[in-house]
Chain A
Amino acid sequence: MYTDKVMDHFTNPRNVGEIEDASGVGEVGNASCGDIMKIFLKVEDNIIRDVKFKTFGCGAAIATSSMVTEMAIGKTIDEALELSNQAVAEALDGLPAQKMHCSNLAADALHEAIKNYKEQNG
């Protein structure tokens, strides 16, 4: 049911963990629906230098979290805000239809972290 890319990111997730002195932290999802994603950012000169994630959720939730960290690193804040959940799913060669609305929240978590960064940095 999952593509090879999803399974690759699920079995070897990139950038798992937390950033101690993060520039911004964002969290989406809730326990009821079974997916919680938390994204930590390190921003320097308006560029995302590092991203880490922690996720409670299914295979798709972990794979999209991992993928979004890879996609976001090196981007400017504005470029990262352009990243959509759809783009993350496409980068994984697609997700099963029933996962598209529940477990495909990684870009939202990234955007929340950016919002948090902007709030802290006026």
Chain B
Amino acid sequence: MSNIYLDYNATSPVRPEVLEVMLPFYREQFGNPSSVHWAGRQVSGALEKAREQVAALFNDSPAEIVFVSCGSEGDNMAIKGTLDALKEKGNHIITTSIEHPAVLETCQYLEKQGYDVTYLPVDRDGMLDLDDLEAAITEKTVLISVMWANNETGNIYPIEQIGRIARKYNIRFHTDAVQAVGKIPVDVQKANVDLLVISGHKIGAPKGVGALYVRRGTRMSALMHGGHQERNRRAGTQNVAGIVGLGKACELALAELDEYYDRVRALRDRLEDGVLSQVPDIKLNGTPDREKRLPNTLNVSFAYIEGESLLLNLDMFGIAASSGSACTSGSLEPSHVMGAMCVEVTLAHSSTRFSLGPETTESEIDKVLEVLPATVQRLRDMSPLYNCGRTAEGCETCETVRRI
């Protein structure tokens, strides 16, 4: 039995075309791009080519791309760097309660340093009310940070509208586009984004490389101090092979975007329709409007059972998915995204995410649909919550779900 990987929002395998262009940069073209001699010159061109490939994917200019080590670094740099550079101007950040920890934990750290943060709430579908955003703006607001798409639910946020609001009030706008890029069109000009973060390993490049787009003329303090690399934005010798791989992955993503969307969307819809029709007592997490969700993501909660035990059962069939249960998050609380959406607590513990990728096939989806209903039923038959007439715990009483 072959394995079925449905956890592309966690990471993706390096694409063969990407690996192929990377390999020469480990042995033959090993130079330091900052060196003036032949070895350095061999690689500096490759770095600049990659910068063009990355820039083309979200319609900016290569000089606005800073290579970093991962999405978390990019988010940290964008937020801390902005707040530090603009500290004379203000001390208030507006973000959302459903951001990735790379943004949320950074904001919470800054709160401890004396900054003010507003965490915008979301509705039960996980969507924002932009009136809340405008109402939260004060004369001290220097940064708005809203993710382009959510990693757990796949919800896509109205980045263009938020960009217009940011411009209207002359506030810097950062977006974590780690999940969006390569899956849907991402255009920094249309959306008026000032800072945007991507991560290589979500789009078929290796782990350990990412990029931060910084709009020309945007003042930002450095996070990493040292050499003059990346126009003094980010010190440290560049991960040349990784960056070359990221460039190739971005080039492929741009060329294949329409085809990817249609193909993956059809498979996800097949999975979603199948799950919703074959398994009773389930809840879709995220917006039911599929146009406003990433084409590859399905997040559902199966009432009466817990997420980790479902994942382990699916794993026995070689199926890899992920869960928002406490057990898989390494804490005692289920996912903060489910908490922010006010998902009833046992349902939050059972939230299960299937995220498809370019290598997913129709027969894999059919295999999941064959295995899933019986697996869910087996765990339900073991559950003290099933068929016992208990009522769900209301949002008002779910004390342990963290609400920011």
Contact = CB atoms under 8 A, between A and B. Distances in A.
Nearest to A33: B332
Interface string B380-404: 0111110000000100001111000
Contact of A55 (B330, B345, B349, B384): B384
Interface stretch (B65-73, B244-252, B276-284, B300-308): B300-308
Contacts of B305: 56
B312 interface: yes
Interface in A28-45: 31-38
A83 interface: no
Nearest to A36: B384
B326 interface: yes
B383 A54 contact: yes
B326 A33 contact: yes
Nearest to A11: B316
Contacts of B345: 31-32
Interface in A83-114: 98-99, 102-103
B308 A31 contact: no
Interface string A37-79: 1100000000000000011111111100000000000000000
Contact of B393 (A31, A35, A57, A59): A31
A57 B306 contact: yes
B327 interface: yes
Contacts of A54: 382-384
Contact of B384 (A37, A58, A60): A37
A26 to B, nearest CB: 11
A48 B362 CA distance: 51
B309 interface: yes
Contacts, number: 74
B383 A56 contact: yes
A72 B327 CA distance: 27
B346 interface: yes
Contact of A59 (B312, B326, B349, B398): B312
A7 B315 CA distance: 12
B176 to A, nearest CB: 27
A81 interface: no
- The secondary structure that dominates the A interface is mixed
Interface string B342-357: 0001100100000000
B383 A102 contact: no
Interface in B279-326: 304-309, 312-313, 316, 325-326
Contacts of B346: 31, 34, 56
Contact of B327 (A10, A36, A58): A58
A59 B316 contact: no
Contacts of A103: 327
A55 B304 CA distance: 10
B334 interface: yes
Q: In the complex, which of the residues A11, A36, A60 has the most CB atoms of chain B within 10 Å of its own CB atom? A: A36
Q: In the complex, which of the residues B306, B345, B400 has the most CB atoms of chain A within 10 Å of its own CB atom? A: B306
A58 B330 CA distance: 12
B327 A56 contact: no
A34 B338 CA distance: 14
A103 B326 CA distance: 11
A109 to B, nearest CB: 10
B400 A62 contact: no
A16 interface: yes
Nearest to B305: A56
Contacts of B381: 16
A33 B330 CA distance: 12
A27 B388 CA distance: 14
A102 B307 CA distance: 15
A35 B326 CA distance: 10
Contacts of A61: 306, 309
Contact of B326 (A10, A16, A102): A102
Given A61-B306, A98-B330, A36 B385 contact: yes
Contact of A32 (B306, B309, B383, B400): B400
Contacts of A34: 306, 325-327, 332, 334, 346, 349
Interface of A: 7, 10-11, 13, 16, 27, 31-38, 54-62, 98-99, 102-103
28 contacts: A7-B312, A10-B312, A11-B316, A27-B384, A31-B346, A32-B393, A34-B327, A34-B334, A34-B346, A34-B349, A36-B384, A38-B384, A54-B382, A54-B383, A56-B306, A56-B346, A56-B384, A56-B385, A57-B327, A58-B306, A58-B309, A59-B308, A59-B312, A59-B327, A60-B327, A61-B306, A62-B309, A62-B382
Interface of B: 304-309, 312-313, 316, 325-327, 330, 332, 334, 345-346, 349, 381-385, 393, 398-401
Closest 5 CB pairs of A and B: A58-B308, A58-B327, A54-B384, A32-B400, A38-B384
